[in-house]
Structure 1
Amino acid sequence: MSGSAKDRNTTVGQALARLNLKPRQLEPGHVWLAGAGPGDPGCLTLDVLAALGQCDALVYDALVSPEIVAVAEDAELFYAGKRGGQPSMKQDDITALLVRLAREGRRVIRLKGGDPYIFGRGGEEALALARENIPFHVLPGLTSGLSALAATGIPATMRGINKAVILATGHAAGTDDDLDWAAIARTGQPVVIYMGMANLPTITASLLEGGLAPSTPAAVIVAATTPQERIVVATLATLAEQAAAAGLASPALIVVGGIVAMRAALAGGQ
């Protein structure tokens, strides 16, 4: 290790010592639902980091980086998948696994990308655990829908541009269970769309039909905060075509609204 790397590690250690963090103890038979953030291990919260060092069973999703999984070095690993178009455990099977591990007296972490309560089905798992009288606790994570914007130079809110941000799922676009995209368009507020890449042409067309101008700034952000991060900035009318031309695929977020234009304005200071 270089001298500078040693210095950095020493500085981090000293900072943690000054913080005097006293992590909550993960008890046998308990399940903690935890968020791993958008991808970069630097976005992991200290509470989640401490919890990973305590667990002996880790049930984790595909969007959690190998570096973060490796923190739980004493845990038995259970891969749940949960990436669109890829093999995954069924949600009922995941819940059953959490219940079984808890009843075996294991110290269980259920680790998800982003935040467990934002399009992570954490609420469903918490409800199932409550119904089974399994003690559980939730450790928040940085949600990808906001931290990915910050990481790529797009402020989620900007005075004079927006007064709200809409977080939406694009998973059901074009089906009977779809959102009212016209109503979202009428708000005039930026929308951040999770799980929408497969339906990007449908979503952009629906927003245009709802009244958003074709020139509305828009972007697709792939693998935010990781070495694989990519971003395509376009207009609402051209976003689907440009994303396809660039070969973008999940995991990705779609951002539509005036805040996207701030990326170019802020580029000089990044």
Structure 2
Amino acid sequence: MPVCTVLLLSLAVPIPQFLSAVSSSSTTPLTIGKVVRWIILPNSTSTDKLLAQNIHWDLLLTLPNSDPLSSELQRLVQHQWIVHAGVPSRLIQNFEAKNAQLLHPKAGDVPELTGSLTKPRTASSSQNLELSPELKDWISKFGNQEGKGAVSMLNLLAFKEGMKGEYLKYGAEFAKSVGSRRGGTAKIVGTVVRQDGDGGEGWDEVALAHYPSIWHFADMLASEDYQIVNRKYRVGSLRDTFILCTTEIGIETEADKNHAKL
């Protein structure tokens, strides 16, 4: 089982400049995405590194190995948070092609919204992965402006003792119906592997979930069928979690923007 690396980066240079350096290096990310916003904040795990220093995170990178960034790239990074995870080989095989199909779907491949947003099920907070008024307002603004394409949600999970089995039931329902009917798919899932100096302490699992748009994600949160599964299996199984919304970008596209300015 390959050990992959998940990196959150706060850059010392503009994003296009960093991506230009990545494209010239030996580093070949599985995914690279702009950090958009927190959907769920961690309660206690890794909060000192992720939140307490008021760091603005710029990019999320997932790498197909556990190799550190080169010294040339490290010089362009101000802060980083790293976690390693063992990911099944079947998820990594042909990943570039599979991911391209998700990010650039053919006509008819993206499911229609189910209509749950016409009478959304809301809650006062989004911390249990429910649609709060604040999150609903943000989704409306983001989805009608820069957020018209696919989103990737980084999930870090810490299970209560003996409760991972319940979460696996949630994952099965997500894949079978409540997530997949909105185009949701977990494209990277792995078990956290602790390595010296990384941020994996206290976390059990990592997942990167794809949605065709932020509206599909909202449609899921607003629905009764999803919330039944969420409350039954997910909420009670987690000791801690966070979800970070990102939008994936191509290295060449962003690097070309930087070259155009030179």
TM-score by length of structure 1 reads 0.22
TM-score by length of structure 2 reads 0.22
Rg larger for: 1
Tell me which protein shows more strand as a share of its residues: 2
Larger relative contact order (CA 8 Å, sep ≥ 6):
2
